[in-house]
């Protein structure tokens, strides 16, 4: 048999495709697999509608039954069913104490001797009574924390330089657990993982001193998550609402807009009496400085605290930083305030903990992470809550960020955190690079709080948008192989393309509630279908500006009450139709 460089794909259908359709299939295959293909048609009268495309072991099933099954699978996958369990029982504390507080008289049995030092890890003998997670102090003034208890020695992680610590140096117990200064004066400031200011604006006078780690609120101390924490992003607030006290994971590959979503959410809290805390873990100092500059430019630093553990900081400081940020948030939560905390990102946090654990000679497990890495994040995220009225009614809402490799959400750390959180916003590289920003994958994203965290106005306005987008995605893939479309299908495609374009938003430009409601009501009514796709964004701006000037009372009522009536809905649609006609006359 003569060898050929081309690969063969088989198309099963009841009707033979024409030449134009065959060219479409071949073009799809060559683009998908980056190699030449030949297409062979196989007649199959059992396929009433659609086709099957077989490439080696892969099957593209676009029969009627196949499309139904794919839609069903997509719904099931969106529930995020990963469950990771762990029986780790270690309860870890972290440190922050002032050197001036050391007034305890140290007895001989409470002193130890350094045996080895290197890479921020110290092993010491003595200190037989030291406890796990206890703060210890070295002769040089450097502080550390007991992280490993062995029969004849301790493993200690350092929160400072190890240059002045040598073999034979003395180390003493403090009998103190870790803590961090907290207070209202931290608002508007940038601090390190120990609460020390690093923004050059002087010292910070603390109002209180809290343990870095505390037990999560119990069930009786919580109340249901039922108040919205609006992001200002239409794609999220309409389909994956976040409630105060919820934990919503932001997950995606590098450079897909994860931090941008968190930043927009922080900007959207302006004037809403919400405290924002941003914990930067293992990031470049320049990136943090840029983010601080954006917050200052938008007058958002006055209600924000930045806790920064940069890439140049040691692994122990990166490890401690999210717990320190959470302790700051709990101070405000216990005062009855609403707090939003962003962990950016927990992938680097897990890597820092892995580095520490390997240096402490702990056994590596799956993907070289220690077995208790699940407990690391579960005890952190469980501290987010909506407190009961008896406890003041405050809330701590968490937006953890996780970076994936090539979209692999089944890796160890992503599956761990998916199983801990109350939903995830999945960002897709292909969507991002195609210009769909925020690049939210509507099929894989989910909020397990759902409509309970939406205002009545948003719930009514959102309607069937998620189902409409799901139908559009199914139809879009199916129709790429055929140009012979009926009018109803073309209209559905145009409607879906318009919805996708409406979900695009510029960075640092969150929408107000009334702007989202008006946009959704107008879009789902289908009144924008006559406007070309490339003009949709321009029309939205024109329409929202017109509503703000012509119908200020309506906009204000929706914004303040979170409600609108059926008559309001009909009125919005009628006004929007008039704006469509005006826009078309002016621009088309």
Q: What pLDDT is stored for residue 54 in this prediction? A: 79
Residue 473 is a catalytic residue: no
Task: Tell me if 323 sits within 8 A of 309, measured CB to CB.
Answer: no
Complete edge-to-edge strand list for the sheet that includes strand 274-283: 190-191, 304-310, 274-283, 338-344, 395-403, 249-252, 423-427, 446-447
Mean pLDDT (whole number) for 112-131 = 89
Cα–Cα distance for residue pair 183/178, rounded to 1 Å:
17
Instruction: List, for residues 540-588, the tens digit of each pLDDT value.
Output: 999 999 999 999 999 999 999 999 899 999 999 999 999 999 999 887 6
- Please give the backbone phi and psi of residue 474, each rounded to the nearest 5 degrees, phi first: -60, -45
Average pLDDT, the chain: 87
- What is the pLDDT confidence band of residue 480, given thresholds at 50, 70 and 90? low
What would the mean pLDDT of 191-198 be, rounded to a whole number? 94
Catalytic residue, chosen from 448, 466, 473, 504, is 448
pLDDT category at 56 given cuts 50, 70, 90 is low
Cα distances (Å, whole numbers) of residue 406 to 77, 255, 425, 426: 18, 12, 16, 13
pTM of the model: 0.79
Identify the pLDDT of residue 20: 82
Please compute the mean of the pLDDT values over residues 165-183 and round it to a whole number. 88
Beta strands in 62-196 (DSSP E): 111-118, 121-126, 135-138, 143-149, 154-158, 170-173, 179-182, 190-191
The residue-averaged pLDDT of 298-318 equals 95
Q: Inform me whether the pLDDT recorded for 274 exceeds 60.
A: yes
With a cut of 50, say whether residue 145 has pLDDT above it: yes
Closest CA to 456 of 266, 142, 226, 269: 226
Cβ within 8 Å of residue 54, ≥6 positions away: 9, 10, 11, 12, 60
For helices 513-524 and 536-550, the axis angle rounded to 10 degrees is 120
- 32 Cβ neighbours under 8 A, 6+ residues apart: none
Residues 72-89 pLDDT 10s: 544 444 433 333 334 333
pLDDT score of 347 more than 80: yes
In the DSSP assignment, the letter for residue 173 is: E
């Amino acid at each position: 048999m003569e060898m050929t460089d081309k690969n063969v794909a088989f198309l099963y259908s009841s009707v033979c495709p024409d030449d134009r359709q065959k060219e479409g299939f071949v073009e799809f295959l060559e683009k998908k697999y980056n190699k030449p293909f030949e297409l062979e048609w196989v007649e199959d009268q059992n396929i009433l509608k659609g086709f099957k495309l077989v490439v080696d072991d892969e099957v593209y099933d676009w029969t009627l039954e196949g499309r139904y099954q794919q839609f069903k699978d997509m719904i099931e996958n969106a529930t995020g069913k990963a469950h990771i369990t762990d029986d780790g029982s270690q309860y870890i504390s972290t440190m922050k104490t002032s050197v001036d507080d050391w007034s305890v008289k140290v007895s001989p049995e409470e002193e130890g001797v350094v045996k080895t030092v290197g890479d921020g890890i110290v092993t010491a003998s003595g200190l037989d009574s030291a406890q796990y997670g206890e703060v210890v102090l070295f002769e040089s003034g450097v502080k550390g924390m007991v992280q490993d208890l062995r029969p004849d020695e301790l493993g200690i992680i350092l929160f400072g330089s190890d240059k002045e610590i040598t073999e034979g140096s003395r180390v003493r117990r403090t009998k103190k657990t870790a803590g961090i200064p907290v207070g209202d004066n931290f608002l508007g400031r940038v601090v390190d993982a120990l609460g020390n200011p690093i923004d050059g604006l002087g010292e910070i006078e603390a109002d209180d001193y809290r343990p870095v780690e505390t037990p999560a609120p119990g069930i009786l101390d919580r109340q249901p998550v039922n108040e919205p924490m609006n992001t200002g992003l239409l794609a999220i607030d309409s389909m994956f609402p976040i409630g105060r006290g919820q934990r919503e994971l932001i997950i995606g590959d590098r450079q897909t807009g994860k931090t941008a979503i968190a930043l927009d959410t922080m900007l959207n809290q302006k004037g809403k009496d919400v405290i924002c805390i941003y914990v930067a873990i293992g990031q470049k100092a320049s990136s943090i400085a840029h983010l601080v500059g954006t917050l200052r430019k938008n007058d958002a630093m006055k209600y924000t605290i930045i806790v920064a553990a940069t890439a140049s900081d040691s692994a122990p400081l990166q490890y401690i930083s999210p717990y320190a940020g959470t302790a700051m948030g709990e101070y405000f939560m216990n005062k009855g305030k609403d707090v939003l905390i962003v962990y950016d990102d927990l992938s680097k946090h897990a890597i820092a903990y892995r580095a520490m654990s390997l240096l402490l000679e702990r056994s590596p497990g799956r993907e070289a992470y220690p077995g208790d890495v699940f407990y690391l994040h579960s005890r952190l995220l469980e501290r987010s809550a909506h407190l009961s009225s008896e406890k003041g009614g405050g809330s701590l809402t968490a937006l953890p960020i996780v970076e994936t490799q090539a979209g692999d959400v089944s890796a160890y750390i992503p599956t761990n955190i998916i199983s801990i959180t109350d939903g995830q916003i999945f960002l897709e590289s292909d969507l991002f690079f195609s210009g769909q920003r925020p690049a939210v994958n509507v099929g894989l994203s989910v909020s397990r709080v759902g409509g309970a965290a939406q205002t009545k106005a948003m719930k009514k306005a959102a309607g069937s948008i998620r189902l409409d987008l799901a139908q559009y995605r199914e139809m879009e893939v199916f129709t790429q192989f055929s140009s012979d479309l009926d009018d109803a299908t073309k209209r559905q495609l145009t409607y879906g393309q318009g919805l996708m374009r409406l979900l695009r938003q510029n960075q640092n430009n969150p929408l107000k509630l009334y702007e989202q409601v008006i946009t959704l009501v107008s879009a789902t009514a289908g009144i924008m279908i006559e406007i070309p796709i490339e003009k949709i964004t321009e029309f939205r701006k024109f329409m929202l500006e017109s509503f703000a000037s012509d119908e200020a009372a309506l906009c204000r009522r929706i914004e303040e009450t979170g409600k609108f009536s059926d008559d309001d809905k009909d009125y919005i649609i009628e006004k929007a139709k008039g704006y469509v006609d005006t826009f078309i006359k002016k621009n088309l």
